[in-house]
Amino acid sequence: MSTSRNLTIGVLALQGDVREHRAMLEECGVSTIGVRRPAELAQVDGLVIPGGESTTIGKLAGIFGLLEPIRAALRDGLPAYGTCAGMIMLADAIEGGTADQETFGGIDMVVRRNGFGRQVDSFEAVVEFEPTWHDHFDYPATFIRAPYVEKVGDGVEIAATVGDRIVAVRQGRLLATSFHPEITGDTRIHELFVELVRS
């Protein structure tokens, strides 16, 4: 593990915007590595789980021997940030998934897969991101085949909504958004995750 001044944040490199997340994190002043193996997971202070296709990510995590190590690391307190499909992967329960779908879990929430519709239903919206541990701000969010959170447990903080749909949550050192901040050029949410890792 790194010191707080020299963090290394891993980006799960099985599918999705790995390069884009790494670029955003490096703009925030931290080192990054792609995580494909348990040995790489052991080197990181925090983990970003990108978007993609959640059933595929779950299957590939099993093939690469990462499913149980990531679950164990999250239980042991590894900070993680999931975007879009990454939000699904951090959910303890899914609606609209396949019968055999695997997640890492960690956040006491029910996420509806493809909740906002298919690729053609993608949209942009300015969301008011108002986490309790930081000043709130308006964020230009891009939703692509996005999930949303149907229900949260008592320990989960709702950080942003679109209408009555929950699109950002935090539980302890775990953060999840249903949108894709890595494609906006706006590093503020990655900065919040880096703050969580440093804390």
The active-site residue, picked from 28, 84, 102, 190, is 84
Report d(CA 134, CA 166) in Å as an integer: 18
Note the pLDDT of residue 4.
Answer: 41
| Contact assessment for residue 116 and residue 143, using Cβ atoms and an 8 Å cutoff | yes
The active-site residue, picked from 180, 190, 191, 195, is 180
* Per-residue burial over 52-81, b = 16 or more CB atoms within 10 Å of its CB, e = otherwise: bbbbebbbbbeebebbebbbebbeeebbbb
Active site residue 20: no
**pTM score:** 0.93
Active site residue 180: yes
Active site residue 28: no
Note the pLDDT of residue 198.
Answer: 93
The active-site residue, picked from 20, 21, 28, 182, is 182
* Phi, psi (deg, nearest 5) at residue 58: -60, -45
* Phi, psi (deg, nearest 5) at residue 131: -70, 145
Largest CA distance in the chain: 44
* Per-residue burial over 147-163, b = 16 or more CB atoms within 10 Å of its CB, e = otherwise: bbbbebeeebebbbebe
Note the pLDDT of residue 52.
Answer: 87
Spans in the chain with pLDDT lower than 70: 1-5, 114-121
